[in-house]
Chain A
Amino acid sequence: MNVNYLFSLVAVLLLFALAYLGVKVPGGQLLFGIIIPYVAFIAFLAGFFNRVMGWGRSAVPFRIPTTCGQQMSLPWIKQNKIDNPTTTWGVIARMFFEIVTFRSLFRNTRAAKKDGDRLQYKLEIFLWIGALAFHYTFLTVLIRHLRFFTEPVPGFVQMIERVDAFFQFGLPVVYLSGIVLLAAVLYLFLRRIFIPNVKYISLASDYFPLFLIGGIALTGIMMRYFTKVDITAAKELTMGLVTFHPTIPEGVGSIFYVHLFFVSVLLAYFPFSKLMHLGGVFLSPTRNLPTDTRARRHVNPWNYPVKVHTYEAYEDEFREKMIEAGLPVDKQPEPQAPEEKE
């Protein structure tokens, strides 16, 4: 049986319990409110940096972009300048659409057997929609949270908030991003459970971040709409953290500490996990290189000489046969034994 998701769910529940109960013991608030967030943030920065530098240290010996369109060739043949870019601008455009719109994922199709003898491929955009919804709402939530880390709150944060609360219902006003984020997490989880092939390939390390992010969203929503956390006190704590004058204000509920702890765990976990696709997507050599390998020379830093079979060795082996067949040779065979004349 596939226990990977149970394993991750239990892990996240344990983390919840740890923080929920931990802040009730003496010193717990200090630990979960100040020490762990700092440690996590440092782990995130150092880990992220280390990982990217690790990739950077590895060579890019060959240019191996996957081309997804017509190459640059004869002047009257229209090149696909984005999917088969020969210029830096083309590469930038390709990467931009890849990172901002998940272009490759948009191509996704689903294959199915039909009518007894047919394979059919249908456009399958739900993963693309789910992924976009997930990443963009996450980004929105993140930006919205800058309200807690800045004084005065910058205009663009307020603007994002206004857009996010566009529908103006509920009190306090309901932010769409939180709801959509939770829904997207749920979708991404359900597809891992219900699509047999995806379930088959899913590991605990695929479920864990989903549960963790789901937990973050859930505790956030709980604080805002249900337990009604003391916002002023929460902001006092976060401002203390960013200004390096950390304090533990009175009256911040346990759920806040759980929320903060989940975020800390996510930060610390990030560099050691698949979440590093955030950094890696920029460095992928199949996407971020121009396809000009025939037009421009590229140097491999570890290129070394190899043993080749030279023409001379080849001719030495086949000279007689080549001459007999009338093929030109570089070296004529030794003149036949002059002693015959003698």
Chain B
Amino acid sequence: MSDLPKSDEYFSQIDHKPPKLTGWMDTPINIRKGMYCYASNPKSVETLGLPYARPWNPLEDDWQLPENWQQIIHEGLKERLERFRSFKIFMDICVRCGACADKCHFFLGTGDPKNMPVLRAELLRSVYRNDFTAAGKILAKAGFGKQIGARPMTLDVLKEWWYYFFQCTECRRCSVFCPYGIDTAEITIIGRELLNLLGLNIDWIATPVANCYRTGNHLGIQPHAFKDMLEFFVDDIEEITGVRVDPQFNKKGADILFITPSGDVFADPGTYTCMGYMILFHFLKEKYGFDVTWSTYASEGGNFGFFTSHETMKRLNAKMYLEAKRLGVKWILGGECGHMWRVINQYMDTMNGPADFLEEPVSPITGTKFENAKSTKMVHIAEFTADLIKHGKLDLDVRRNDHLKVTFHDSCNPARGMGLLDEPRYVIKNVCNHFYEMPANTIREQTFCCGSGAGLNAGEDMELRMAGGLPRANAVKHVHKKHGVNMLACVCAIDRAVLPALMEYWVPEVDVTGLHELVANALILPGENDRETDLRGEPLPGTEDDTNE
């Protein structure tokens, strides 16, 4: 981040006007440091058995492509046009009205016209037109290809695809505003699939995918280490609350399997959210006999395969049901994660279902039937906790969060992929006294991406991340100034991993938290001490005086 100019300088230099002189087809591709992620490590590509594992460097002219790469792309495109009606329709019906143009966080943050969703899609459409449409074939032959936006597949086009499809976080905000619902994420997903046919991925996706495949989680944490990590939290929790919680692992016959993104096990502030889950589960076990198990095999909620190809997504997602079946649980509870829920909501049952070996989910504590999860048998923890609070099943001391002025960031995937909007807000409002919404155009389905989703949360593309996260940060800055907001809550592990850096750059006074950290701060455990600090070890309001003595 040290290479970046100060945030206000950065902001003032953004220009949303495209170049006057050259059209987009004549603007050469310029792969710039800080805006791209490193090429995939061949070892990771090999682990998954994906094609063309090899070392290559985006900055070099020669990408070591297979000889018939154009044919591979052409055939891949053809196959996908038949497999996805969405893709085919989105190739055909865009009228380039421009409604999506200024909806993309990457466009707002970089001003690069190829980050306008319409143009990002045109990068692929231009090849589609040239190769697959009657008008394109005829006019391109007559020398008018450029006028109708048709161009042949060349190395430069391929490089442009790679550069810009990995400058899209697949957040789908543009789709909300499109009069035909054209979803650029769908185009990016398929664009990335095509690139993967040539072994062109980025390492921040390829290696986590390989890790998820082998060890069950994206960090490559092995089973014993996974258990160790949670046991560290057991010690921390004991220090703060005086209560020793006792998480269960790989327990056959438990009632419920809990799966959360492994980012929460690994890095602050996600770790506090993870402690939050553990505290909640302990409370529920003590009071209501709630029997939940963690799994080391299915130890990742996030699905980095989603950023690779539909097939890879399916391969990683399979573990959830396989493990639920093996352990013989009744249903699955899922933690706070963004794209994990898009996959669970829109893909899992279709890819890896039917989950007929599980029961339709019912909260064993409140008796609530989760009708909306009848088929997948997987409940979101925000739904689960909101239901507990509504039924008065939690003992809460809300004042313990009084030092926090909280705003809520809707994570793109749950917000636009499933509509999980009110449940987390209900929980926050019931565990915090100070909650403030960001402006209406920046929340709920119109929420802005963190700027680092879809596998772009690497260190080397920090400029891209800070630019992409600008609209989000800008809205936080607004409530920070207006209401003194100092805590940004979210229900996504990628958010928790990347928003702290974003806040540090744009709004340094604001911290980041998951929902269940806030819940656990307020939750009164049976037999606990008088807590003096929150889960982060910060003194609780009203207790500072005592600790100073």
- Interface residues in chain A, defined as those with a beta carbon under 8 Å from any beta carbon in chain B: 1-4, 7, 51, 54-64, 66-74, 76-78, 80, 83-84, 86, 98, 102, 104-105, 107-111, 113, 116-119, 121, 127, 131, 195-198, 200-206, 272-274, 276-277, 279-281, 283-287, 291-300, 302-303, 306-311, 314-315, 317-318, 321-322, 324-328, 330
Contact = CB atoms under 8 A, between A and B. Distances in A.
A55 B180 CA distance: 15
B435 interface: no
16 contacts: A58-B83, A64-B186, A67-B416, A67-B445, A104-B179, A105-B177, A111-B16, A111-B108, A272-B134, A272-B135, A296-B375, A297-B354, A306-B311, A321-B224, A326-B227, A327-B296
B147 A64 contact: no
B349 interface: yes
Interface in B410-432: 415-423, 426
Given A4-B147, A295-B375, A283 B85 contact: yes
A68 B133 contact: no
A59 B351 contact: no
Interface stretch (B88-96, B152-160, B262-270, B280-288): B88-96
Contacts of B215: 314
B409 to A, nearest CB: 16
B118 interface: yes
Given A2-B23, A55-B92, 15 more contacts: A59-B83, A74-B383, A78-B422, A119-B470, A131-B97, A196-B18, A204-B148, A272-B134, A284-B89, A286-B181, A306-B314, A309-B319, A321-B222, A325-B223, A327-B249
Contacts of B180: 277, 280-281, 284, 287
Contacts of B353: 297
Contacts of B345: 293-294
B114 to A, nearest CB: 10
Given A71-B372, A77-B422, A281-B180, A298 B350 contact: yes
Nearest to A124: B99
Interface of B: 8, 11-12, 14, 16-18, 20-21, 23-24, 49, 81-89, 92-99, 101-103, 108, 113, 116, 118-119, 122, 133-135, 144, 147-149, 172, 175-183, 186, 213-216, 222-224, 227-228, 249-252, 296-297, 310-311, 314-315, 318-319, 322-323, 326, 344-347, 349-351, 353-354, 368, 370-376, 378, 383, 386-387, 390, 415-423, 426, 439, 441-442, 444-446, 470-471, 474-475, 477-478
B176 A281 contact: no
A56 B224 CA distance: 51
Contact of B181 (A74, A200, A284): A284
Contacts of A64: 86, 183, 186, 346, 417
Residue from B176, B228, B372 with most neighbouring chain A CB atoms (10 Å)? B372
A291 B375 contact: no
A277 B90 CA distance: 10
A219 B15 CA distance: 42
A111 B102 contact: yes
A60 B176 contact: no
Contact of B84 (A59, A206, A307, A326): A59
Nearest to B94: A274
Contact of A98 (B18, B179, B249, B311): B179
Residue from A73, A107, A299, A302 with most neighbouring chain B CB atoms (10 Å)? A73
Given A107-B176, A201-B96, A309 B374 contact: no
Nearest to A206: B96
Contact of B426 (A77, A118, A131, A314): A77
Contacts of A198: 96-98, 101
Nearest to A312: B326
A127 B97 contact: yes
A311 B297 contact: yes
Contacts of B478: 118
A326 B250 CA distance: 11
Contact of B350 (A61, A111, A276): A61
A294 B350 contact: no
Contacts of A283: 85, 89
Contact of B223 (A63, A70, A276, A321): A321
Contacts of B318: 306, 308
A143 B126 CA distance: 36
A70 B419 contact: yes
A83 B445 contact: yes
Given A80-B419, A197-B102, A295 B373 contact: yes
A195 B102 CA distance: 12
A46 to B, nearest CB: 12
A314 B8 contact: no
Contacts of A1: 21
B372 A109 contact: no
A82 B84 CA distance: 25
B177 A294 contact: no
B429 to A, nearest CB: 13
Nearest to A207: B147
A307 to B, nearest CB: 6
Contact of A66 (B12, B97, B176): B176
A76 to B, nearest CB: 6
B216 A314 contact: yes
Given A1-B21, A276-B93, A131 B183 contact: no
B176 A200 contact: no
A298 to B, nearest CB: 5
Contact of A277 (B93, B297, B470, B471): B93
B250 A66 contact: no
Contacts of B222: 318, 321
B113 A104 contact: no
Given A61-B350, A281-B93, A325-B227, A117 B322 contact: no
Nearest to A72: B372
Residue from B97, B99, B420, B441 with most neighbouring chain A CB atoms (10 Å)? B97
Given A127-B97, A272-B135, A62 B350 contact: yes
Nearest to A318: B223
A300 to B, nearest CB: 5
A197 B98 CA distance: 8
Given A83-B445, A294-B374, A300-B350, A58 B85 contact: yes
A303 B353 CA distance: 11
Nearest to B80: A58
Contacts of B85: 55-56, 58-60, 283, 285
Contacts of A70: 419, 421-422
A1 to B, nearest CB: 7
B449 to A, nearest CB: 14
B186 to A, nearest CB: 7
